[in-house]
Amino acid sequence: MPALMMIGVDIGTTSTKAVVFTLDGKPVSHHTVEYPLLRPEPDAAEQDPELIFAAVLDALKVSVTQCPVTSPEFVCLSFSAAMHSLIAVDAQGRPLTASITWADNRAAAQAARLKASTAGAGLYRRTGTPIHPMSPLAKLCWLREERPAVFAQAARFVGIKEFVFHRLFGEWLVDHSIASATGLFNLEKRDWDEEALAVAGIRREQLSRLVPTAHRLPLPDLGFLPTGTPVVIGANDGVLSNLGVGAIAPGEVAVTIGTSGAMRAVVDRPVTDPSARTFCYALTERLWVVGGPVNNGGIVLRWIRDELLGSGEVSYDELTRIAERVPAGSEGLLFHPFLAGERAPLWNADLRGSWFGLGLQHGRAHMVRSALEGVMLNLRGLLPAVESLVGPARQIKATGGFARSGLWRQMMADVFDREVVVPESFESSCLGAAVLGLYALGRIESLDAVNAMVGATHRHEPVAADAEVYRQLIPIFDALPRQLGEQYRQLAEFQRRPRR
């Protein structure tokens, strides 16, 4: 009998990953293809959609052809993708723009204006997407104002997964999960929001057809997978990461730190925050995910390595060894990690990174450790907002590249003052996509089946003395960005001015 396999593909911000799993969730082969993040002008963060489509095919082909299992039968292929991307395409589906990613801040002025308007609060309540430059709604406003010729020429506005699916299937489709992160999707009606479309200046015909996350299509001939293999459109990477780590029960909160970071929990109905600190995105027709994203995760470590230490040759393991020389709290040195502005919970694109409390007693090791702590302290600021919507978090399920570091895992437990559990699979979005594929095909009755697939490699309890240190520093850390909001705005404006 053939061995039954499932495939999860994650179209991410810096790479596309494809993982082949057994039906009980064990990875047997995988392949990752990286691509650059382009910054052609200040605040821009773009990618080449053609490169990404090629990366999807390459990652899939290598993971499938290198599968070590004899006579595998692939029961499903399911997709995860990064949120908030925007590509203007012509009537033939050719890109008129690069893929404008979540990290692009050029719509800051449009987002600020919209957020301050009378329509802003209503848009958030109906769509569940905080008003911010990351949002395709804000990006469309920017494109209309700053690139009017391109905006007028565009036949459609799509995200990167839609672009890939159109290339594969010849249809413009968007799943409810990706759509719910655009700022254009009405959560209750599960349809495009008419007022949001009017604000963006577009017609619904310029957007893709909405389909559930369990929507299926037959695979065309790719040459390395059987034609007709069931393909499930899947969902966005955030909600699938929750599924992939098994954080779908009450009291379980997922924290992911990759290039950026996020905190999320699952609810059974759309929920928005009165203070507009959190998002609400679809997972299935009956499950939703609430939480918040941060811009600054692993990207901070890369900056520390490349700019502060001045060497791309330094490994991340070496960085954590440097940080281990310093006690919890970095002897009073705080680092605000806003190198790329910030999203939740502050939703302020003008924020900038800084060290606070620097003294002669501090050295390079303090600066490195405080940077790691700054990422954690910033993420921890989301916890009150999430708990206000879902109740107390008894356990943190953590994933992402940071989870390979014992220091950072323990730091999370101490900063959050909660037990931290790290699942076996680091590729949680790929596993989540594959499990959603099984559910869509009726091979599992409930998404709870993921709990039998997700083992735990590490468990960390808070160290009482270190947790107390962070408790003393958290009020100072949280207060500074709010107190210095006007100064951050002035500095951001100064940095955006053209240089001669």
Domain boundaries, the chain: 3-235, 246-424+463-500
Strands 279-282 and 288-294: antiparallel
Contacts of 99 (CB under 8 A, 6+ apart): 46, 47, 48, 49, 52, 85, 86, 87, 159, 160, 163
User: From the CB of residue 472, how many other CB atoms can be counted at a distance below 10 Å?
Assistant: 10
User: From the CB of residue 153, how many other CB atoms can be counted at a distance below 10 Å?
Assistant: 13
Domain 246-424+463-500 coded CATH 3.20.20.150: no
Side chain identity at 491, as an amino acid letter? Answer: L
* Stretches in the chain below the pLDDT threshold 50: none
Beta bridge partners of 232: 78, 216
Residue spans of beta strands (DSSP E) within 295-427: 334-336, 354-356, 395-399, 419-423
User: From the CB of residue 459, how many other CB atoms can be counted at a distance below 10 Å?
Assistant: 12
Distance (Å, whole) CA 107 – CA 144: 11
User: From the CB of residue 398, how many other CB atoms can be counted at a distance below 10 Å?
Assistant: 27
Inter-CA distances, 292 with 187, 217, 272, 342, 393, Å = 17, 31, 11, 11, 15
* Nearest alpha-carbon partner for 267 in 241, 290, 238: 290
Domains 3-235 and 246-424+463-500 share a fold: yes
What are 476-499's pLDDT values in tens digits? 999 999 999 999 999 988 988 877
232: its two tokens = 């499930």
User: pTM of the predicted model, to two decimals?
Assistant: 0.89
What are 245-294's pLDDT values in tens digits? 999 988 899 998 888 889 999 999 999 999 999 999 999 999 999 999 99
CATH number of 3-235: 3.30.420.40
